[in-house]
Structure formats: C-alpha cells, structure tokens
Copies of this chain bind each other. A is one copy, B any other.
C-alpha cells in the first residue's frame, strides 16, 4: 500500500488554512489506528470474502461446501479462510478430516449487515461499478 515511503517533512504545498489544519490534526486518527481500521475494512473489500463471511454468519460450513457455494477452488477458499482465521474473523472445529468453519467476530458480521443496508438503500445510486459509470471518473 505504500510503495515508496517518502512522507516529506510536512508537505509539498503550502497550507492555506494552518489553523484549521492544526485543529484537524488534533482529532486526526493516529496512523496506527487508521491502519487497523483499514485492515478491518479490507476483510470485506473482496466479494468472495463478503460471501464467505455472510454465509458463515448464518451457519457453519465445511471448506468443500464453501467452495461449492462460492464456486471457487478448494485451495482458493482455503487461502481466504486462512486470512480470515489470522484476523480472528472465523474459527473452525475439526471433525475427523472435515473442518467446519464459523464466524468468530460479531463486529465484522455487524459491519457487513450495516453495509448491506446501505447498499440496498442506495440501490444502485451510489457505489455501483457495473452499468452506471460510477461517477465522474
């Protein structure tokens, strides 16, 4: 995300409203916190993971069932589950050689639900990347 960490002493442009910036800086999220936050949202920033998380929010599923559900390779799903496990988003119980995954983070489930409401409200007016040309790009 940060190819070249240059981060100049302050900036390359002059500050038009130094006092406003100073005030804003007082409530600016610390970088570390911004990174944590970004990390959480990154979890749901992928359609496949969104589906996995949403599916697991309703019932536990084994890996091959998940693969069938989302229509992707077992290894693909396994990689995503590893990521979700590392972030404590999901956990699993093992029964013989079958691993049953379930959600382990109510936060993320709640975020997903809230996001879903927004998408359904907006209903194509806002964040589409499909038919509409998503803004004045």
Contacts of A58 in B (CB 8 A): 24, 27
A41-B115, A87-B135 given as contacts; is B34 within 8 A of A47 (CB)? yes
A contacts with B: majority SS: helix
Q: Is the CB of B114 within 8 A of A114?
A: yes
Interface residues, chain A, with chain B CB atoms under 8 Å away: 1, 6-8, 10-17, 20-21, 23-25, 27-29, 31-51, 54-55, 58-59, 61-62, 64-65, 67-74, 82-83, 85-88, 98, 105, 107, 110-112, 114-116, 118-119, 121-122, 124-130, 134-137
- List 14 additional contacts besides A10-B68, A29-B51, A29-B54; criterion CB under 8 Å: A12-B74, A16-B62, A21-B61, A27-B58, A28-B69, A32-B130, A37-B115, A38-B47, A39-B127, A40-B115, A41-B41, A42-B45, A82-B135, A105-B126
